[in-house]
Amino acid sequence: MMKTFYIKGITGNSSIYIAERLQNVNKYLPDVKTIIITDEIVKKYYSNDFPDCPVITISTGESIKTLATVESIYRQLIDLACDRQTFILAIGGGIVCDIAGFVASTFQRGLRFGFVSTTLLSQVDASVGGKNGVNFDSYKNMVGVFMQPEFVICDIDLLNTLPKEEVANGFAEIVKHALINDYSMFEFIENNKTQALSLDSQIITKLVTDSIRIKSGIVQKDEKEAGN
129 near ligand NAD (CB under 6 A): yes
- 93: closest CA among 71, 64, 54? 64
Q: Which of 69, 122, 205, 209 binds ligand NAD (CB under 6 A)?
A: 122
Select from 22-30, 70-78, 102-110, 123-131 the region that touches ligand NAD (CB under 6 A).
123-131
Whichever of 118 and 209 has its CB closer to ligand NAD, that residue is 118
Min separation Cβ 26 and ligand NAD, Å: 19
Coil, strand or helix at 60: coil
From the CB of 99, what's the least distance to ligand NAD, in Å?
Answer: 9
The backbone torsions φ and ψ at residue 129, rounded to the nearest 5 degrees and listed phi first, read 125, -20
Q: Round to whole Å and give the CA distance between 113 and 97.
A: 10
Of residues 193-212, those binding ligand NAD (CB under 6 A): none
Are 51 and 36 a contacting pair, CB within 8 Å? yes
Whole-angstrom distance, CA of residue 29 vs CA of residue 32: 8
- Give the DSSP letter string of 86-116: -EEEEEESHHHHHHHHHHHHHGGG--EEEEE
Least separation in angstroms between residue 82's CB and ligand NAD is: 23
Task: Identify the CA nearest to 60 among candidates 51, 52, 49, 69.
Answer: 69
Per CB under 6 A, does 9 bind ligand NAD?
A: no
Question: What is the pattern of x (binds ligand NAD, CB under 6 A) and - over residues 130-169?
Answer: -x---------x----------------x--xx---x--x
| Residue from the set 36, 89, 126, 152 that interacts with ligand NAD by CB under 6 A | 126
Binding mask 82-111 for ligand NAD (x = CB under 6 A): ----------xxxxx-x-------------
- Which helix or strand (DSSP H or E) is residue 168 part of? helix 164-181
Only segment of 16-24, 122-130, 184-192, 194-202 that touches ligand NAD (CB under 6 A)? 122-130
42 touching ligand NAD, by CB under 6 A: yes
Number of residues that bind ligand NAD (CB under 6 A): 27
Residue type, 11: T
Instruction: Please report, as a single letter, which amino acid is at residue 214.
Output: I
Measured CA to CA, the distance from residue 73 to residue 82 in angstroms comes to 11
Chain centroid offset of residue 63 CA: 18
Tell me which residue has its CB nearest to ligand NAD: 94
- Residues in region 50-69 near ligand NAD by CB under 6 A: 60, 62, 65
Would you say 32 or 180 has its CB closer to ligand NAD?
180
